[in-house]
């Protein structure tokens, strides 16, 4: 099932993650690892438990059983903000742009280590955070610029188009200085050109900043041609894990998809 | 700038250590947690018993403390047997501290109060189940019904039974008017949770102050014989009014249960409660079912109001006074669950009356609130509700 | 000079001595409710938590102050000026105790829980006669305050206005505080801290996914709001010279919400506007010359107020100064 641990250390490992809702086991013993600085795709038929798995490892759900380790620390059951602060940041399937706040605020919110977010500082040391705030604003504008969103900085995020929101979501996640970025269907609902740009960003970030990516995707072209490794989930378990061409030919995977898109590449 | 370089930051601050402690507490075997909870509860009862006068403030401190501790130790296992065991434990402790007779007598008194809570709670929970609307004016529906009965029974001198009929009909009419005039239009506009909540609150005040406008704040009584009592075996007594309330209440509630289970309307109501969009697409006339729900809920509220007025007295504030215990019954029983509201209402009435054994009777409603808060904190889905996942 | 005791919510009628005295007392109420509702605005408009127990915090603060400053036999306890910060600390402690278990509840459950808690506070105050003197209440806590206001009044007389009404110093203090707190809150809103709060209101999960401890921020918001309620509470009981349980009925919280609805959500300056308008109308209605009894006129005022609110909520939920998007439609 699992290909050899190619030479790169694992930045993330999950072991036997289980989650039950009522009578249904949405995730039934998922075990996998993600190599550092890799771009790994997580695929599987609908209902396989991929988004639930994301929610479990990022702290939005509490696993009933199992272990998750990120950069050497156990994170199962920890709350989302702790996991995010450790450098493991996720985006959402349906973008969560903070609609009634300007784009620039959306961005600046995500920056870590802001003394101005501390109430005591705000009340008692009102000038101590101005410097960092200016830094954060500059970084935010730079990042917006690299995504071609700089001109929208003062617009309310709610007025952005679907594709722009996806980019904002990604840019915002990057403001958080993640080591490990989990993207839930980043290509969904955006046009191919924009999608291409997103993929280029991912490659660049991996190369320049050493960010690891794990993304859920349904678009097989993207998965096959732009990921280093593919992990396949079905019925709450990981059923395959390897390089794209290996996985494409794996019989269990083909069965899981009932002879669907995987083969037609 | 190296990504993630700042990741190892604020390693173990206080809130993380706190969270770790909570996690470790969670992993204790269930029997230990349950045992600790029971011991705590019994200690609270014992302490409360030591301070019969003005012990209320200590009791509340202890209850809130217990609730906070309990909130940190998630409830697992099956809620119904656990609730039953806790109830038995409370009863046993009280019997030990007082006498079987006292506990039984207060329990009987409590059944009457409980029937009123159950009647009102079923209506409130049905409306919530279908419309996802918490009707903060529901208590004032009860007051409205009570005063309607007053008109017939006292102002016109008619028999109480006619008063009850008018109360039911008038309150149901009020429900219809509100649904058509206010709730349906607001739903069509896509009104938000806070908006509707505030509207029902304002509505409650309008009803309350209209009652005050017409009848002033003077305490009024219905024309009933409050002192007649019926002797029961074991040297127990029940007021005639209370007996009627319990009997009529239970009969009405059983009839309601049967209606929900067996009739077409009942099934449709349950369908809407489960998934209103699905019900709509499967051809059910949702606005008609919603209307019937309001008629039903308001009618029950009117009836409950007359009963409450008959067993105590009428004043404009009576609605709000009742609202929170009714909420407690609804939440305890699982919001949206009519059977739950019924059971929880009865249980709540009994427990509230039991509390008068060791607390000033002015404080008995605090017990209701305490139970409400504890339930919200430990298990918001109530005893009979399905557990939340997140 | 007549002792002015406002009708709401104690239920004692007052005598309008001169026009200006009446309107100054209205102004005091408006100022007190501004401070009270600033806390609600912080909670509802900027953090997204539906705090319906604000009057409970007011009660805790007022009672703490009164209990600390007086002794049961009518003597003097702790110094008034020291009792104020102490009471605020007690109130904050209570807010944290309340918030810890209840802030993770859904919006409507949180509303119910907070109403229940506030009512519990009132009922305990009513029944714990040993501590709070029950329905009779506590008085005599304002001796130091009176000295202070005498000082202010002397100062005002010195600078020329010899006919200054008795209650004017309270009016002055109330509005200085109201405006000062409005400015302070507005400035706090424009900080990174304020940004996190707004994000929590917009989408709590998004904020959490970006590393913000939403629960902690909500607690902070609640504690701050409780502090504002405490300040309003002090002024409130100083105004009527008594601390009685009946002053802390749920309608006080709801009137606070009425102020928010009038002035608009997510707008601190709107709170003062809403409060002034509300109290002007509410008290102005007192002068309706109708052949009705006292309690009936009182009832009528509230009926009109609440009907207006229902209409506002239905047709202009954003209030006078609010933006349409702020009052969440279709949430």
Tens of pLDDT along B263-319?
A: 888 888 888 877 777 888 888 888 889 999 999 999 999 999 999 999 888 999 899
Q: Which residue has the tokens 């996640």?
A: A173
Do A103 and A91 sit in the same domain of this protein? Answer: no
Q: Which residue has the tokens 């309706």?
A: C288
Chains that touch B (3 or more CB pairs under 8 A): A, C
Do A123 and A189 sit in the same domain of this protein? Answer: no
C11 part of a folded domain:
no
Interface test with A, best of B2, B4, B74 (most A CBs within 10 A): B4
Whole-number pLDDT of residue B66: 57
**Residues in chain B closer than 8 A to A132 (CB atoms):** none
Q: Which residue of A has its CA nearest to B20?
A: A78
Q: Which residue of B has its CA nearest to A178?
A: B4
**Residues in chain A closer than 8 A to B6 (CB atoms):** 112-113, 177
A260 part of a folded domain:
yes
Do A3 and A93 sit in the same domain of this protein? Answer: yes
Q: Which residue of A has its CA nearest to B23?
A: A77
CB-CB under 8 Å, C193 with A109: no
CATH at C102: 1.10.3470
CB-CB under 8 Å, B194 with C126: no
C198 part of a folded domain:
yes
**Residues in chain A closer than 8 A to C325 (CB atoms):** 100, 158
Whole-number pLDDT of residue B360: 72
Whole-number pLDDT of residue B5: 30
Do A71 and A190 sit in the same domain of this protein? Answer: yes
Closest Cβ opposite residue C208 in set A81, A119, A158: A81
A111 part of a folded domain:
yes
For the segment A176-195, the average pLDDT, to the nearest whole number, is 87
| Full domain range(s) for residue A151 | 99-159
Rg (CA), chain A: 19
Chains that touch C (3 or more CB pairs under 8 A): A, B
Do A197 and A246 sit in the same domain of this protein? Answer: yes
Q: How far is CA B144 from CA A10, B166, B196, B317, C256, in A?
A: 68, 11, 21, 11, 26
**Residues in chain B closer than 8 A to A61 (CB atoms):** 389-390
Q: Which of A126, A159, A192 is the last residue of a domain?
A: A159
Whole-number pLDDT of residue A220: 84
Q: Which of B54-58, B109-113, C206-210, C308-312 has the lowest mean pLDDT?
A: B54-58
CB-CB under 8 Å, B365 with C303: no
- The CA distance from B247 to the nearest CA of chain C, in Å, is 30
Do A88 and A219 sit in the same domain of this protein? Answer: yes
Element (H, E) at A70: strand A65-70
Q: Sort strands A229-234 and A237-242 into parallel, antiparallel or unpaired.
A: antiparallel
CB-CB under 8 Å, C188 with A96: no
Whole-number pLDDT of residue B268: 87
A204 part of a folded domain:
yes
Is any Cβ of chain C less than 8 angstroms from the Cβ of A85?
Answer: yes
Contacts of A117 (CB under 8 A, 6+ apart): C192, C193, C195, C196, C212
C222 part of a folded domain:
yes
**Residues in chain A closer than 8 A to B18 (CB atoms):** none
C248 part of a folded domain:
yes
Do A92 and A198 sit in the same domain of this protein? Answer: yes
Alpha carbon A87 to its chain's center = 11
Do A92 and A112 sit in the same domain of this protein? Answer: no
Our count of domains for chain A comes to 2
Q: How confident is the model at residue B2 (pLDDT cuts 50, 70, 90)?
A: very low
What residue ranges of chain C have pLDDT lower than 50? Answer: 1-17, 328-331
Query: What is the distance between the alpha carbons of residues C253 and C257, in angstroms, rounded to a whole number?
Result: 6
- The CA distance from B135 to the nearest CA of chain A, in Å, is 29
**Which pTM value belongs to this model?**
0.84
Residue B199 has pLDDT above 60, yes or no: yes
The token duo for A203 is 């490659």
Is any Cβ of chain A less than 8 angstroms from the Cβ of B235?
Answer: no
- The CA distance from A52 to the nearest CA of chain C, in Å, is 15
A41 part of a folded domain:
yes
Contacts of A230 (CB under 8 A, 6+ apart): A40, A41, A42, A43, A223, A224, A240, A241, A242, A243, A244, A247
CB-CB under 8 Å, C108 with B373: no
Helix (H/G/I), strand (E/B), else coil: A24: strand
CATH at A242: 3.40.50.300
Mean of the per-residue pLDDT values of chain B: 79
A199 part of a folded domain:
yes
Tens of pLDDT along A227-241?
A: 999 999 988 889 888
A170 part of a folded domain:
no
A167 part of a folded domain:
no
C86 part of a folded domain:
yes
Tens of pLDDT along C8-62?
A: 443 333 444 457 888 898 999 999 999 999 999 999 989 989 999 999 999 999 9
Q: Which of A1-10, B246-255, C73-82 has the lowest mean pLDDT?
A: A1-10
Do A25 and A93 sit in the same domain of this protein? Answer: yes
C297 part of a folded domain:
yes
A208 part of a folded domain:
yes
Whole-number pLDDT of residue C120: 86
CB-CB under 8 Å, A177 with B7: yes
**Residues in chain C closer than 8 A to B209 (CB atoms):** 299-300, 302-303, 306
C315 part of a folded domain:
yes
Our count of domains for chain C comes to 1
Do A260 and A193 sit in the same domain of this protein? Answer: yes
The backbone torsions φ and ψ at residue A41, rounded to the nearest 5 degrees and listed phi first, read -105, 145
Residue B211 has pLDDT above 50, yes or no: yes
Do A65 and A195 sit in the same domain of this protein? Answer: yes
C279 part of a folded domain:
yes
**Residues in chain C closer than 8 A to B334 (CB atoms):** none
| Full domain range(s) for residue C95 | 19-326
Element (H, E) at B22: helix B14-26
Contact B287, B184 (CB under 8 A): yes
Is any Cβ of chain B less than 8 angstroms from the Cβ of A79?
Answer: yes
Is any Cβ of chain A less than 8 angstroms from the Cβ of C329?
Answer: no
Q: Which of B106-110, B208-212, B366-370, C308-312 has the lowest mean pLDDT?
A: B366-370
Whole-number pLDDT of residue C3: 38
What totals of helices (H) and strands (E) does chain A contain, helices first?
10, 10
**Residues in chain C closer than 8 A to A100 (CB atoms):** 198, 202, 325-326
Do A63 and A20 sit in the same domain of this protein? Answer: yes
Element (H, E) at B376: helix B364-378
- The CA distance from B368 to the nearest CA of chain C, in Å, is 9
The backbone torsions φ and ψ at residue A183, rounded to the nearest 5 degrees and listed phi first, read -110, 125
Whole-number pLDDT of residue C200: 93
């Amino acid at each position: 099932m699992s290909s050899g641990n190619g030479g790169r250390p694992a930045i993330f490992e999950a072991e036997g993650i289980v989650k039950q809702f009522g009578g249904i086991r949405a995730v039934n013993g998922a075990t996998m690892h993600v190599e550092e600085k890799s771009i790994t795709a997580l695929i599987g038929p609908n209902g396989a438990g991929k988004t639930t798995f994301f929610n479990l490892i990022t702290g939005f759900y509490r696993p009933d059983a199992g272990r998750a380790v990120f950069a050497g620390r156990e994170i199962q059951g920890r709350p989302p903000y702790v996991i995010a602060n450790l450098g493991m940041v996720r985006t959402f399937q349906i973008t969560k742009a903070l609609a009634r706040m300007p784009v620039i605020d959306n961005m600046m919110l995500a920056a870590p280590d802001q003394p101005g977010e501390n109430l005591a500082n705000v009340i008692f040391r009102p000038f101590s955070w101005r410097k960092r705030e200016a830094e954060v604003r500059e970084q935010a504008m730079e990042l917006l610029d690299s995504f071609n969103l700089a001109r929208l900085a003062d617009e309310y995020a709610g007025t952005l188009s679907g594709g722009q929101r996806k980019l904002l979501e990604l840019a915002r996640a990057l403001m958080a200085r993640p080591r490990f970025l989990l993207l839930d269907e980043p290509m969904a609902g955006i046009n191919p050109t924009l999608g291409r740009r997103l993929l280029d960003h991912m490659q660049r970030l991996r190369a320049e900043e050493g960010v690891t990516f794990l993304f859920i995707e349904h678009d097989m072209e993207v998965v096959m041609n732009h990921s280093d490794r593919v992990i396949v989930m079905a019925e709450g378990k990981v059923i395959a894990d390897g390089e794209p061409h290996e996985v494409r030919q794996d019989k269990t995977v083909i069965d899981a998809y009932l002879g669907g898109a995987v083969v037609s590449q | 700038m190296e990504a993630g370089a700042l990741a190892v930051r604020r390693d173990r601050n206080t809130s993380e250590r706190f969270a770790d402690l909570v996690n470790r507490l969670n992993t204790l075997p269930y029997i230990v947690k349950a045992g600790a909870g029971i011991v705590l509860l019994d200690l609270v009862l014992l302490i409360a018993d030591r301070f019969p006068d003005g012990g209320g403030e200590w009791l509340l401190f202890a209850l809130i403390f217990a609730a906070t501790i309990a909130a940190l130790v998630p409830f697992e296992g099956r809620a119904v047997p656990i609730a039953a065991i806790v109830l038995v434990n409370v009863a046993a402790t009280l019997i030990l501290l007082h006498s079987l007779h006292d506990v039984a007598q207060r329990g009987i008194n409590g059944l009457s109060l409980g029937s009123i809570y159950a009647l009102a709670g079923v209506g409130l929970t049905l409306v919530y189940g279908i419309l996802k609307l918490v009707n903060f004016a529901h208590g004032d529906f009860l007051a409205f019904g009570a005063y309607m009965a007053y008109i017939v029974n006292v102002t016109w001198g008619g028999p109480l039974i006619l008063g009850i009929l008018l109360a039911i009909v008038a309150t149901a009419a009020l429900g219809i008017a509100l649904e058509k005039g206010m709730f349906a239009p607001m739903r069509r506009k896509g009104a938000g949770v806070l908006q509707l909540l505030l509207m029902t609150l304002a509505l409650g005040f309008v009803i309350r102050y209209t009652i005050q406008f017409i009848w002033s704040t003077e305490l009024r009584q219905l024309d009933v014989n409050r002192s007649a009592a019926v002797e029961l075996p074991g040297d127990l007594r029940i007021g005639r009014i209370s007996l009627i309330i319990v009997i009529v209440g239970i009969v009405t509630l059983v009839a309601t249960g049967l209606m929900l289970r067996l009739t077409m309307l009942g099934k449709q109501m349950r369908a809407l409660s489960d998934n209103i969009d699905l019900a709509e697409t499967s051809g059910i006339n949702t606005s008609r079912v919603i209307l019937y729900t309001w008629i039903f809920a308001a009618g029950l509220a009117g009836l409950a109001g007359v009963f409450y007025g008959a067993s105590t007295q009428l004043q404009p504030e009576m609605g709000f006074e009742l609202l929170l215990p009714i909420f407690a019954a609804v939440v305890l029983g699982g919001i949206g669950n009519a059977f739950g509201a019924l059971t929880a209402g009865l249980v709540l009435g009994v427990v509230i009356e039991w509390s008068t054994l060791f607390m000033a009777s002015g404080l008995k409603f605090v017990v209701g609130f305490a139970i409400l808060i504890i339930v919200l904190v430990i298990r918001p889905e109530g005893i009979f509700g399905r557990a939340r996942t997140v | 000079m007549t002792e002015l005791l406002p009708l709401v919510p104690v239920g004692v009628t007052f005598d309008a001595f001169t026009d200006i005295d009446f309107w100054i007392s209205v102004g005091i109420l408006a100022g007190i409710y501004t401070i009270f509702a600033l806390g609600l605005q912080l909670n509802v408009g900027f953090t997204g938590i539906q705090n319906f127990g604000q009057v409970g915090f007011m009660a805790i603060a007022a009672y703490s102050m009164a209990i600390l400053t007086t002794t049961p036999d009518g003597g003097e306890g702790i110094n008034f000026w020291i009792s104020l910060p102490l009471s605020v600390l007690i109130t904050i402690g209570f807010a944290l105790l309340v918030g810890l278990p209840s802030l993770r509840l859904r919006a409507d459950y949180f509303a119910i829980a907070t109403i229940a808690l506030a009512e519990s506070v009132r009922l305990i105050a009513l029944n714990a006669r040993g501590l709070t003197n029950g329905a009779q209440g506590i008085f005599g806590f304002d001796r130091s305050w009176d000295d202070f206001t005498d000082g202010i009044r002397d100062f005002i007389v010195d600078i020329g206005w010899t006919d200054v009404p008795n209650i004017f110093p309270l009016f002055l203090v109330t509005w200085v505080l109201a405006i000062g707190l409005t400015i302070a809150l507005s400035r706090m809103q424009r900080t990174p801290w304020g940004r996190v709060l707004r994000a929590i209101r917009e989408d709590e999960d998004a904020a959490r996914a970006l590393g913000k401890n939403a629960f902690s921020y909500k607690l902070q918001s609640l504690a701050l709001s409780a502090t504002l309620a405490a300040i309003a509470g002090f002024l409130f009981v100083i105004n009527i010279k008594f601390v009685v349980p009946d002053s802390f009925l749920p309608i006080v919280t709801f009137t606070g919400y009425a102020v928010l609805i009038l002035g608009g959500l997510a707008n601190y300056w709107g709170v003062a506007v809403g409060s002034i308008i509300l109290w002007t109308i509410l008290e102005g209605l007192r002068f309706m010359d109708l052949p009705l009894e006292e309690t009936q006129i009182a009832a009528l005022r509230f009926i009109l107020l609440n009907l207006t609110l229902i209409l506002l909520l239905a047709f202009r939920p954003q209030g006078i100064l609010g933006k349409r998007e702020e009052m969440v439609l279709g949430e």
